[in-house]
Structure 1
């Protein structure tokens, strides 16, 4: 018995001695002091209306602001300012529990009241709030003299906010991940960000440290994770070629849409990220031109599609054929698209015009593709294509003009962003149909209405899809491949350099 007790005692002492050698010091997360240099084509001065900005300008808002929820690179909804949310049984009421450790960049705690105030400002000041028009009381508030508090069903308590809808909308949470619904303080100050950036507290992982005509410098907030890059430089480059040249010598870490001539090489070197974008190119016919019969329009569309198909074969990294689909996600709907393809690809013996005037907005991409179409028609038909590249302002007015036959229209082809979609194709959509979509309150209703409208657009040759663009991003070897979130914006949290 004594031997057993002695053996146990020795074992206990041994374990205690061994445990004393175990390092109990908490693991320290290393402070990331890296600078990320990111090429951007223009420096915005007005960040108030987010929907008016391109994706790369929106990236500034996404870096400096957080939403209630956000969308990751796979499109999954992730908590952000809200640590969780609940939806009641009828699908009308959403309760978001706000994180207890959410802070503004000045150190003040972010409260539920702050978020309600933000929604009030956005609803009052911004006209691109489609996700919020289905919130109970919003339309009444906008059309009356009633106060926000007594009208709109966005309220707060000690640790949460509550939003009540007019009708069930399964896409509402997804809508809230968009950049325009990320929390900003004093929204009106963002209209002149260069003047006011020092006086604005930011809800995101970064704040604007400086801004001028050539560069925006973002610094990591004191409350953000020290694993994030310490500084982000968004540098204006005059051209894609100059941006890539800077990238090649190590002066840029990220270049969006590098020159297409370099895509294959970058891909081979493992320095290219490819992902689908929502940017598309549609072909529109001049509604004021009565010289073209539907048979002629069909043949023009068929020929342009042939040219685009050959263009895609040479630029498969850059573009994807639309194949008669207005939205990339609809390409799997073979039942809907089969009849369209049959209609378009049926050749008929008809007399074609000897000349077609084509207009498009002036850009490097449109210059390249219109040049290709012109040469293709020259080599394969008896039709001469005359191209006019227009300014954005002139392009927006082409519905009032009669000097063109067809137009290439750059479209943000995502029904979730119906405002942006309708803005670009509004000249070709009858007014009553535009109003039907604008007055619909849910994503499902919008999709159903547009499904009806797009049949009219296609069958009457108003505006027809040609191709979808892909995102191409040049990155150095230290940048993660999943740097775009579900809305196509840069997720700076994913960049670990």
Structure 2
């Protein structure tokens, strides 16, 4: 018995010794990792680096970390700056752009970037086989629409590499914001092939033109190392970074909080509403305003009665909605676009806060019956669900200030991103509460979403008057006329109400104490190359 007792005791001691060693080594390893590289929980990453089927902030962050374009937009001033093209000239008729590729423009493997590389890139990017919805923004280029629809070959498109350093692009008509369009990350230079399509498998075979290159991908973690051949490498703050991504995008914010609390990550954005106040107390939370707008969109095929849409608009209380959400997460907006990009074309306030009595009268005119359910859909997530619930509650409270027995019978359904896209595309909803974001620094980025030809016009809004105004704006060479068309287009949207803007989204970014620098641009994108 004594012998057995000694064996048991010795075994326990040995196990404790080894356990202690393992714990010590694990802690040392974790500390080593944290000292050498910062980990940013980006949330989700695109399946492909070739093409995108939506406009996504996180996709843009990722593309900007890996690639560079002819030009880029300053993250603070939104001014257009020279990128891989060190300079450019615009013809007198404002229809031809001549770009001069800089001598020190190189791929990550050290090969020279040439005008021919851009020629090939645009040929592949604009191809109908690539199926990139964002190339809609490039339809100003002469011959692009015919090529993208498969009617002609690329040699009919007005993009030409004159020599290794000179690229010429000619437009259908003058476009004052064409350089802003080219600054979109979707149009940053990369080789369009199987490597970019299956980047998680072939990341070592990809040639990068931007701040970082991918050196490792495993189990939801991406290792980025500074691209030593990047022409602006001195502006990249970290030599190495790690990006944490989650395949379950619906619960990414919850996973991020857990990882942040366990020191597995150093940065993440937009925590669950239930965690915001606690995280703010740590003094490592930074608040950024964005150009992203929460809005209510109508399925115009199902919610065709203008009186009902007017009622919803007049029953919408932006101030109450903001008050009922966590502090500083959203701000009210009374126009379709934020003031910072309105220029001189659009008035300050096109909407007003709730007017319950007028809204109730329009609701009566619509003949709405409370037995009729209104399906309101949204992208699943704690913040989105809370904003939808608060919105429904405020609408019905405003109705009941006029008649206590009346309300709108809403049915609320949340979907993951993939399923939501299908729901919106198929029109299986009445109303959708979600975000829209501009893709370049001009009001036209918003206005063009509602052209009947736009791939981003998901709520089936169609107006010949509106389409003609957009066409006139694009083809006008007269500043006064353009201003007139802008105003009339906005007025048409106010009259038809395919969408009701409600509030501007603010980004809450959580950072550990080791982060000394981090920047975000007005679109709500964290600048990965600025992290230090």
Q: Fold match, TM over 0.5? A: yes
SS at match of 1:241: helix
The answer on whether the counterparts of 1:299 and 1:347 sit within 8 Å (CA) in structure 2 is yes
Structure-2 change in CA distance of 1:173 and 1:405 (3 Å): closer
- Tell me which of 427, 431, 437 is aligned to 2:459: 427
Question: Equivalent residues in 2 for 1:269-418 (5 A)?
Answer: 269-285=282-298, 287=300, 294=307, 296-303=308-315, 305-306=316-317, 308-314=318-324, 315-323=326-334, 325-329=335-339, 336=347, 340-341=351-352, 347=358, 350=361, 351=364, 353-354=369-370, 357-364=374-381, 365-376=383-394, 381=400, 382-383=406-407, 385-391=409-415, 393=419, 396-397=422-423, 406-413=431-438, 415-416=444-445
The answer on whether the counterparts of 1:322 and 1:328 sit within 8 Å (CA) in structure 2 is yes
Deviations 1:384-409 (A, max 9, x none): 5433214353665468668x654424
SS at match of 2:86: strand
Deviations 1:387-442 (A, max 9, x none): 3214353665468668x654424323564266767545432411757866897894
The answer on whether the counterparts of 1:353 and 1:383 sit within 8 Å (CA) in structure 2 is no
Cα distance in 2 between the residues matched to 1:293 and 1:485: 37
Structure 2: where are the runs of 5+ without partners?
Answer: 1-34, 401-405
- Tell me which of 95, 102, 105 is aligned to 1:99: 102
The answer on whether the counterparts of 1:112 and 1:161 sit within 8 Å (CA) in structure 2 is yes
SS at match of 1:128: helix
**Which residue of the partner structure matches residue 210 of structure 1?**
216
Structure 1: where are the runs of 5+ without partners?
Answer: 1-32
The answer on whether the counterparts of 1:260 and 1:318 sit within 8 Å (CA) in structure 2 is no
How many residue pairs were aligned?
459
Structure-2 change in CA distance of 1:70 and 1:247 (3 Å): same
The answer on whether the counterparts of 1:208 and 1:219 sit within 8 Å (CA) in structure 2 is yes
**1:460 lines up with 2:500 in the alignment:** no
Q: CA deviation at 1:182?
A: 0.6
Cα distance in 2 between the residues matched to 1:235 and 1:320: 29
**Which residue of the partner structure matches residue 41 of structure 1?**
43
The answer on whether the counterparts of 1:141 and 1:152 sit within 8 Å (CA) in structure 2 is no
SS at match of 1:162: strand
**Which residue of the partner structure matches residue 243 of structure 1?**
256
Moved more, 202-211 or 260-269: 260-269
The answer on whether the counterparts of 1:278 and 1:469 sit within 8 Å (CA) in structure 2 is yes
Structure-2 change in CA distance of 1:409 and 1:434 (3 Å): farther
Cα distance in 2 between the residues matched to 1:199 and 1:142: 28
Q: CA deviation at 1:344?
A: 5.7
**Which residue of the partner structure matches residue 8 of structure 1?**
none
Q: CA RMSD in A?
A: 3.7
The answer on whether the counterparts of 1:68 and 1:182 sit within 8 Å (CA) in structure 2 is yes
The answer on whether the counterparts of 1:281 and 1:466 sit within 8 Å (CA) in structure 2 is yes
Deviations 1:422-463 (A, max 9, x none): 545432411757866897894979997675454334323433
- Tell me which of 88, 92, 97 is aligned to 2:91: 88
Q: CA deviation at 1:61?
A: 1.6
Structure-2 change in CA distance of 1:132 and 1:406 (3 Å): closer
The answer on whether the counterparts of 2:289 and 2:522 sit within 8 Å (CA) in structure 1 is no
Cα distance in 2 between the residues matched to 1:221 and 1:71: 20
Cα distance in 2 between the residues matched to 1:378 and 1:485: 37
Structure-2 change in CA distance of 1:256 and 1:346 (3 Å): same
Q: CA deviation at 1:489?
A: 3.0
Q: CA deviation at 1:335?
A: 7.6
**1:473 lines up with 2:473 in the alignment:** no
The answer on whether the counterparts of 2:174 and 2:475 sit within 8 Å (CA) in structure 1 is no
SS at match of 1:341: coil
Q: CA deviation at 1:368?
A: 0.8
Q: CA deviation at 1:172?
A: 0.8
**1:110 lines up with 2:146 in the alignment:** no
Q: CA deviation at 1:153?
A: 3.2
Structure-2 change in CA distance of 1:361 and 1:55 (3 Å): same
The answer on whether the counterparts of 1:71 and 1:486 sit within 8 Å (CA) in structure 2 is no
SS at match of 2:244: strand
**Which residue of the partner structure matches residue 14 of structure 1?**
none
Deviations 1:107-146 (A, max 9, x none): 2121222122112211223342234322233334446665
Q: CA deviation at 1:266?
A: 4.8
Cα distance in 1 between the residues matched to 2:333 and 2:67: 34
SS at match of 2:500: strand
Structure-2 change in CA distance of 1:326 and 1:428 (3 Å): farther
**1:483 lines up with 2:519 in the alignment:** yes
Deviations 1:449-495 (A, max 9, x none): 67545433432343322222122222234546652245543323322
**Which residue of the partner structure matches residue 256 of structure 1?**
269
Moved more, 391-400 or 451-460: 391-400
The answer on whether the counterparts of 2:269 and 2:510 sit within 8 Å (CA) in structure 1 is yes
The answer on whether the counterparts of 2:71 and 2:85 sit within 8 Å (CA) in structure 1 is yes
**1:57 lines up with 2:62 in the alignment:** no
